[in-house]
Structure 1
Amino acid sequence: MIDLKKIQEARSRIKPVVENNPLSFAPRLSNEVGTQIYLKKENLQVIGAFKIRGAFNKIASMSKEDRKNGVIASSAGNHAQGVAYSASYFSIPAVIVMPEATPLLKVLATKKYGAEVILAGDNYDEAYAYALKLAQEKKLHFIHPFADDEVMAGQGSIALEMIEEEPDVNIVFVPIGGGGLIGGIASAYKSLKPEVKIIGVTAKGAPAMRDSFKNKSIQKVDSVRTIADGIAVRDVNEKNYRYICEGVDDIVEVDDEEIASAVLYLLENQKLVVEGAGASGVAAVLHKKIELRPTDKVAIILSGGNIDVTMLNLIIEKGLIKSDRKMKFKVILVDKPGSLQKLTDILTQVGVNIVQIDYDRVSTSLDYGDASVTMALETKGRDHKEEIRLKLLEYGYKFNEIF
């Protein structure tokens, strides 16, 4: 694992750029799961993620000679911004290679810090291979997003802060992509408080690290697919795998539905915008991936908040439907004056607020004289939805709900 002295040195080195965001008690989440929950809000760092720590520490520890040609990195987004920001701080050029599907928010944010952005590959691993090739061609110093001791030491500084702020924490949930964050945090905790359980959280659609941990040997997967792009890493790095085996107590997985519900939960109940990767620890706790006792004191790392606005909107819309606060349905009406008004009058009887109507009379699938009406309604829970269904059936409407 990473030497404690290296992590302590990193903490001193990164002080100029790291926001002091102490562990915050989360009363609603604590009540929800029946134990004490604290959140480490790395989504509030200057780049919106913890990656500023490792990237800055790496560049700050380099010699002027190593820095002079500039640096290059591959990233799905947050490491990109960390390297770009740090390179700008030291006034050196930076090239960032990002997967082609990287959310626009992260691309624009990286460019904002003055870096040259190149989109290449379908996933992180393909972008990584291209960046290594470019580093050799242009003689740039490659900054690895996770398989680098200085980078991991920077991430491990989070643990030093947490131990000072809440020394009684006994379980820590950490998202796992490549393993740099959990490698640094586990190294610090196992050096200072080895009794603390470190629980990694992976996305179900990116299972390689969890599978490797469980099988006690590196496992390969062909592809990754998850809304948590910050932890969508396909291949397992041998060094990080070794550190995880040495310092991590267990790894659990969460699926995209669970991640999305955690993103929405944090937005509504904690007033925090957190990306999929950052919400994975909360997803693990909300969906009871490990058994927690009332006496436990649990810390969760919210690793980042750089979620694409389009994805956030999708999560909100689907979340409202699943939590019975929105209802969509399609119904066929006779295309004549008053038909639509009659339907809306019926809905008024059950206190519905109509937020969207789509009226289609020209679709070739319709009989002549018919119109297809799609409606979106604001609803007040499961009972209210059932009341709406019964009222429509009472008046003879045949409808199909849209989920």
Structure 2
Amino acid sequence: MVSFESVKEARDRIYDHVQFTPCCESYYLSELTGCKVFCKREYLQRTGSFKERGAANALARLGEVEKERGVVAASAGNHALALAYHGKRLGIPVTVVMPKFAPLIKVSTCRRFGATVILAGESFGEAREQADALVEQKGMVYVHGYDDPDVIAGQGTIGLELLEQVSDVDAVVVPIGGAGLIAGIGLVVKALKPEVEVIGVEPERVASYRAAMKAGGPIMVEAEPTLADGLAVGRVGDCAFEIAQKCVDRVVTVTEGELSLAVLRLLELEKAVVEGSGAAGLAALLGPLKGELEGKNVVLPLCGGNLDPFTLHRVIEHGMTADGRLHALEIRISDRPGGLARLTELLGEGGVSIQCIDHDRMFAGPDVACVCVRVVLETRDMSHYQDVLSMLDDCGLEVNKSI
């Protein structure tokens, strides 16, 4: 098991090899949530996530023979990047087994760091089977992404830092995937300041920690697609859960809309590109914890920022929709000359921005005098949107808001 002493030893071991990330107060997020919010910016690590801490500690703890044989892990994300980077730094061969659907950018980055990347299987489970086979065949060491004691100790160094940076903290809101991060942070926080509340956050679609709490131990749950893909772990770790259940005060779940809105808020207010998993803490403050921590000092570990541009684009659009700023409408207008021009003039007078417009005669219905216009609008907020709908209604236009 992991002890407070092992976390302190991990800090000494990795101190010169990972970033001491800032934990600054956010004026805008504090104003938005009613708390005094401090952001622990782990996305500023060299490979973009907190995973470097655990990987660096686990690799440094290997014996000479183990270092020579190398390590292997099944991962399609941040753990793979962290192992590849620190393996290269320490001269330790790293093999990463990724599912065939792994993001191309992460595959190429791992290879750039010198890791051997094997694409195997259609799922993480199949990739893990291939990694286990390499352990048997070549005597390589398997480094688990969230349930290895050395990895958990490395992640716990975040707790040491944030308590030094925010001495009067009242609560820490931590994302939960496999539970290694919250186990490490919670262990440290409760050892040094047991009065501080440790709150976990899971996506509604993969609430594996809450399932473990209900069952009395880790069980497998169905992992549905989520914007917080780094938290989409169907079963929390045994070691991680044993530690976490002693130091986590409560766990909340967040919706996909809350996650995307949190990513958008961080981008707009903090100028920070944070993935859905890293934004889960803010999603909780905007959702299930709204108003509960008002006036308190709250630390949010922004634990990862590895979003590819296409995913970021989709998340921004999803977030703007959740924020009442992006809307799709179907409007029936006259097919006479000037009908479309009149519609765009009305929308312009209403102060909206037209993001996309499609003029459809073929499927506009039986009335040949009318045409269907499908339009995507950007508004300031939901109130502005309602004003636009009222304006269109006053002009006698038939509007379908269901698309």
For normalisation by structure 2, the TM-score amounts to: 0.91
Letter in 2 for 1:79: H
Distance 1:27 1:125 in 2: 43
Q: What SS does the aligned partner of 1:277 have?
A: coil
SS of equivalent to 1:53: helix
Distance 1:307 1:213 in 2: 31
Q: What is the aligned partner in structure 2 of residue 353 from structure 1?
A: 353
Distance 2:336 2:38 in 1: 59
Query: Residue 112 of structure 1 aligns with which residue?
Result: 112
Partner of 2:3: 3
Aligned to 2:57, the other structure's residue is in SS state helix
- Tell me the secondary structure at the aligned position of residue 276 of structure 1: coil
**Aligned residues of 1:22 and 1:161 also touching (Cα < 8 A):** no
Please give the secondary structure, in 2, of the residue aligned with 1:278: coil
Structure 1 129/175 Cα, relative in aligned 2: closer, same or farther at 3 Å?
farther
Q: Residue 271 of structure 2 aligns with which residue?
A: 271
What is the alpha-carbon distance in structure 2 between the residues aligned to residue 129 and residue 226 of structure 1?
24
The match for 2:254 is 254
Deviates more, 1:19-28 or 1:99-108: 99-108
Distance change (3 Å), C-alpha of 1:118 and 1:360: farther
- Runs (4+) of structure 1 exceeding 6 A deviation are 364-369
What is the Cα deviation at residue 83 of structure 1?
0.4
Cα distance change on mapping 1:102 and 1:364 into 2, 3 Å: farther
Q: State whether structure 2 residue 228 is matched by structure 1 residue 228.
A: yes
Alignment of 1:216-365 (within 5 A): 216-289=216-289, 292-294=292-294, 296-333=296-333, 335=335, 337-362=337-362
Letter in 1 for 2:174: V
SS of residue paired to 2:321: helix
What runs of 5+ residues in structure 2 fail to find an aligned partner? none
Deviates more, 1:369-378 or 1:309-318: 369-378
Q: Could you tell me which residue of structure 2 aligns to residue 13 of structure 1?
A: 13
Which amino acid in 2 is paired with 1:205?
A: R
Distance 1:118 1:216, change over 3 A: same
**Contact 1:55-1:82 at 8 Å conserved across structures:** yes
Name the counterpart of 1:388. Answer: 388
Q: Give the Å deviation of 1:290.
A: 7.6
Letter aligned with residue 235 of structure 1: R
In structure 2, the residue matched to 1:44 is: 44
Structure 1 residue ranges without an equivalent (≥5): none
In the TM superposition, residue 262 of structure 1 has moved relative to its aligned partner by: 1.1
Q: 1:228 to 1:321 in 2, by over 3 A?
A: closer
Query: Cα 1:28–1:348, aligned 2, differ >3 Å: closer, same or farther?
Result: closer
Shift of residue 364, structure 1, vs aligned partner: 9.3
Q: What's the counterpart of residue 144 of structure 2?
A: 144
Letter in 2 for 1:34: G
Evaluate the alpha carbon distance shift between residue 30 and residue 80 of structure 1 in structure 2; reply closer, same or farther with a 3 A threshold: same
Residue type of the alignment partner of 1:229: D
Counterpart of 1:170 in structure 2 is 170
Range that drifts further, 355-364 or 134-143? 355-364
Residues 179 and 383 (structure 1), Cα distance of their counterparts in 2 relative to 1, 3 Å cut: closer
How far residue 343 of structure 1 moved from its aligned partner, in angstroms, is: 2.2
Asked whether the 8 Å contact 2:183–2:243 carries over to 1, the reply is: yes
Shift of 1:48: 0.5
Distance 1:95 1:370, change over 3 A: farther
Task: Give me the whole-angstrom Cα distance separating, in 1, the residues matched to 2:188 and 2:72.
Answer: 28
Counterparts in 2 of 1:36 and 1:350: CA distance versus 1, 3 Å: closer
Q: CA deviation at 1:24?
A: 1.0
The alignment partner of 1:194 has SS state of: coil
Whole-angstrom distance in 1 between the partners of 2:361 and 2:160: 64
Letter in 1 for 2:266: L
Distance in 2, matches of 1:261 and 1:281, equals: 12
The secondary structure found in structure 1 opposite 2:279 is helix
What is the one-letter code of the residue matched to 1:280?
A: A
Structure 1 residue aligned with 2:60? 60
Cα separation, 2, equivalents of 1:237 and 1:102: 22
Instruction: Judge conservation of contact 2:19–2:44 (CA < 8 Å) in 1.
Output: yes
Aligned pair count? 403
Q: How does 1:82-97 map to 2 (within 5 A)?
A: 82-97=82-97
Q: TM-score, normalised by structure 1?
A: 0.91
Return closer, same or farther for 1:374/1:208 CA change in 2, 3 Å cut-off: same
Alpha carbons 2:208, 2:220 under 8 Å: kept: yes
Letter in 1 for 2:177: G
**Which deviations, in whole Å up to 9, do the C-alpha atoms of 1:260-285 show, x marking residues without a partner?**
11111111122111111111111112
RMSD: 2.5
- Distance (Å, rounded) in 2 between the aligned partners of 1:227 and 1:127: 22
